[in-house]
Amino acid sequence: MADNAKLIVEGKTYEFPVLVGSEGEKAIDISNLRSETGYITLDNGYGNTGSCQSSITFIDGDKGILRYRGIPIEELSEKSFFTETAYLLMYGELPSEGKLKSFSERLNKSSLIHEDMLHFFTGYPKGAHPMAILTSVVASLSAFYPVKDTLDPEDEEIIIANLMSQIRTIAAFSYKKSIGEPVVYPSNKLKFVENFLNMMFASPVKDYSLDPDVVKALDMFFLLSADHEQNCSTSTVRMAGSSLANIYSVIGAGICALWGKLHGGANQEVIEMLEHLRDTRTSPTAFVDAIKNNKGKLMGFGHRVYKNFDPRAKIIKGLCHSLLKKPGLNDPTFEIALKLEEIALKDDYFLSRKLYPNVDFYSGLILKAAGFPINMFTVLFAIGRVPGWLAHWREMRHDKHTRISRPRQVYQGPTRRAYVPIQDRK
Ligand code: SDX
């Protein structure tokens, strides 16, 4: 433990304990601030506020470090695969062969959704955004799979497998319905990512031949998306989960938060930006200048925590270099992305604000190369992020410090005033 932190308020000195994390992060525990001083803190966007103590993911934004349960993301992306890393995030250790086998069996066992849920998909208008479908169908799972108030470890394991597997099925079904094709059911003969690709791109009239490079690239995308400590959508999951809402609506809340273009929706925005530059033949230099002059946003750049390279962006950029070399997968927008990065990283506007490419800058190129329509990109991010959301949900449920999240505010509205009858109003 470090020395206490001292706060002098209205001439009186107060002391608050200092917590030191396993990687040296220091925090002042202000749990008793208001009861002792009558003061609260204000921290718009929570950039300086820890909401919990967690053992799942460690990020050092200054050094560009990302580790899942202590293992560097570079090692996991090289040696592991999505379902194994999902297990690591949710249960804290890499699984033995036996545990991995039973986890995979559980995922297969729960890959179907209730047949009556298929009616939902026909109720959406043509062109409905797949994220709109995903959020509502996932929240509706609680109607078909009611959740007990108290969950034992076995219940948790079933729910976790259900959600990881069924979100993937719902995503594929929503895509098939959006293009007017019949759904392709999951198969126990295929592994997690192959199963998803098959549900997405096979059809009753043609088989889908799995390209191992595309399978590997999508698996890596899911692995790199799997968790990122207290980001907006994960904090939403913790917030909703703290009221003991059922897990399906809690994950539905996380999906809603992820959809925002400042968060998971950025990967779709990046590709639309790159394609706009391609189609209008806009020079990347002119585009960057316009962003600087209009104080706009170069989508896929910047991060609340990374003030250096996002290690995930580096890995995905490398994946782009190899995947997009394949015949038929070459994509001119990749060259535009490389040019934009080169220009921005030489420009003081970006360097002075510590704006570097984040995970979304290159990920869309991988997804496009894999054949996914742009409006499915954030859905794919959600599929990858589910293990992280579930890991935090479990950690929160088992943390004895957890209480319902209920932040305070600084009120700036009108002071007390009387009701004015309508005839006396201006
Ligand atoms: C994800 O939190 C996570 O971990 C998220 C995530 C995860 O895995 O869960 O990593 C996934 O969401 C990645 C981020 C995807 N979003 C985008 O790519 C959208 C573009 N980026 C920005 O909107 C922004 O950088 C954020 C939202 C990512 C971070 O916003 P912050 O931390 O609130 O930063 P800010 O808006 O306060 O910006 C500080 C300055 C401002 O300029 P000044 O007011 O100082 O003049 O930097 C500027 C901003 O205008 N700025 C940008 C910019 N991002 C910030 N200028 C140009 N282009 C950008 N992309």
| pLDDT at residue 150 is higher than 90 | no
Distances (CA, A) of 305 to 46, 90, 127: 12, 23, 35
Tell the residue number behind the tokens 């921005």, with chain if given.
344
Please answer whether residues 370 and 125 qualify as being in contact, where contact means their C-beta atoms are separated by less than 8 angstroms.
no
Cα angle 240, 37, 411 (rounded to 5 degrees) comes to 55
Instruction: Give, using CA atoms, the residue closest to atom 52 of ligand 1.
Output: 297
CA distance 122 to 41: 48
- Examine the residue annotation and report whether 114 is marked as an active-site residue of this protein: no
pLDDT digits (tens, 9 = 90+) for 10-20: 999 999 999 99
CA distance 384 to 255: 11
Question: Could you give the residue range(s) of every CATH 2.20.28 domain in the chain?
Answer: 5-65
Please answer whether residues 257 and 236 qualify as being in contact, where contact means their C-beta atoms are separated by less than 8 angstroms.
yes
Find out if CATH 1.10.1760 is the number for domain 5-65. Answer: no
Q: Write down the pTM of the prediction.
A: 0.95
Fold (CATH) for 87-260+373-389: Citrate Synthase; domain 1 (1.10.580)
- Strands of the sheet containing 65-68, edge to edge, are 57-60, 65-68, 71-72
- Of the pLDDT bands very low, low, confident and very high (cuts 50, 70, 90), residue 1 is low
At residue 246, the 3 state secondary structure works out as: coil
- Give the class (CATH, top level) of 266-369: mainly alpha
- Examine the residue annotation and report whether 401 is marked as an active-site residue of this protein: no
Tell me what the mean pLDDT of segment 301-312 comes to. 93
Please answer whether residues 237 and 250 qualify as being in contact, where contact means their C-beta atoms are separated by less than 8 angstroms.
yes
Instruction: Give, using CA atoms, the residue closest to atom 37 of ligand 1.
Output: 304
Which DSSP helix (H) or strand (E) runs through 5?
Answer: strand 5-9
194 Cβ inside 6 Å of ligand 1: no
pLDDT digits (tens, 9 = 90+) for 344-388: 999 999 999 999 999 999 999 999 999 999 999 999 999 999 999
At residue 66, the 3 state secondary structure works out as: strand
Instruction: Please name the residues in contact with 132: beta carbons below 8 A apart, sequence gap of 6 or more.
Output: 124
355 Cβ inside 6 Å of ligand 1: yes
Question: Could you give the residue range(s) of every CATH 1.10.580.10 domain in the chain?
Answer: 87-260+373-389
Instruction: Give, using CA atoms, the residue closest to atom 16 of ligand 1.
Output: 262
- Of the pLDDT bands very low, low, confident and very high (cuts 50, 70, 90), residue 329 is confident
